[in-house]
Structures are given as C-alpha cells and as structure tokens.
Amino acid sequence: MNEEQRRALDAVGPRLKQLRLRRGTTLTDLADATGISASTLSRLEAGLRRPTLEQLLPLARVHNVTIDELVGAPPTGDPRINLRPIASKDGATILPLTRRPGGIQAYKFILPPGNDGRAPELRTHEGYDWVYVLNGTLRLVLGENNLVLQPGEAAEFDTRTPHWFGATSSGPVEFLSLIGKQGERAHVRVAPKADQSTQLSDPRPSR
C-alpha cells in the first residue's frame, strides 16, 4: 500500500461518522444493516482500524454513496463516472462503474490468481448481487455450493447467503458485479429454479 492509499483509508473514518450522524443512525442500526459488528464500526469511525473492501461495499450501499466518495477519490475523466481503481490488501482491484447514489451499483473486480486449496472465509450482508465473468475463471462459494464460472456465465444470489469470491490457480479473473439493496434484482432472463436464493444463468442469447 502506497502513502496515497494509506492517507485515503485513514480519512474514511471521519466520513463514515459524518454520514451516520447525518442520517441519525446508531451504530447498532448500522451493524444490523451491514452485517459489520458495532464494535468494528466504532473502531472504523475512530480511525483505529482501516476498512477492507468487503466492509466498504455494504457501508457505501447503506449510506447511498459510492466507494469513491467514502475514500475521497477525486473525480477523473467523464464527470458522470469515476473510473479511479481501488486496490485491496489482498491484491484485488475494484473499479466503480457508477456514481448514482442509491439503487443498484456496478463494479468491475479484478482478482489475482488464487489457491485452489484455500479455505474461503464466507461473508454475509444485506443485499442482492449479480455477477458476470469477463475473463478467467471465477470460484464462487455460496453456502455449501462450490461453483466455478467461466467467461460469459453469470450468477445471482441473495447476499444473506454466506458467500466468497476468488480466482483459481489458473490465473486472474475479471468480473462485473451489480449490487443492490435487499429485494432489488438485476433484470435478467433465467430459467425457474427450485432455490431462488442461488440462481445461475447464462445471459447469452440462444441460437
């Protein structure tokens, strides 16, 4: 992590506290909405702990802001879209593709090669996610299901289902992610499934 990234993350705490107080939300309410413990949120706001990418995503969604706004990234390029990438400590890169507060947010993820034998740390939070693989192979763990998605394949699921994303040892993976609030789903054509919380679909048109 370079000095610029370190300063940006150090400034997140005061922004988080300001956003929460502006909305009149307690730490307990925010913990319920994000799945992050109240004690961790308190440490983040006080600057005693730097936020991770997994924490920034639900916090940005609940506060109806983009991740760029949370980390104070200056706008670049098209003023409607800030394409400033954000690096994660695990080697992942996230590229925000939307700046519209609220509603479904779009991101591009680039994950480095992974360890196929690694035991993933599953996470849960409020919301709904739709992913589409662009390049490489994406390993997606949903509860007890271990899925491998290839380019052109998509998955959508309720993020209250324990989940984890990662690349395989074959190389890095690039994928798009649309993240919405609970009950807000991307409009894609899918075949009916018995378990609606873990739907898989291939959005490519049939021939």
| pLDDT tens profile 79-121 | 444 455 676 667 788 888 876 666 778 888 988 888 766 678 8
100/14: higher pLDDT: 14
With 80 as the cut, is the pLDDT of residue 202 above it? no
The burial of 197, by beta-carbon neighbours within 10 Å (0-12 exposed, 13-18 middle, 19 or more buried), is given as middle
How many Cα atoms within 13 Å fall on the side-chain side of residue 201? 20
Cα of 182 vs its chain's centroid, Å: 14
Contacts with 26 (C-beta within 8 Å, 6 or more apart), sequence order: none
Contacts with 67 (C-beta within 8 Å, 6 or more apart), sequence order: 56, 57, 60, 86, 94, 96, 107
Token pair for residue 145? 């299901």
Q: Which domains does the chain have, with CATH numbers?
A: 3-71 (1.10.260.40), 103-201 (2.60.120.10)
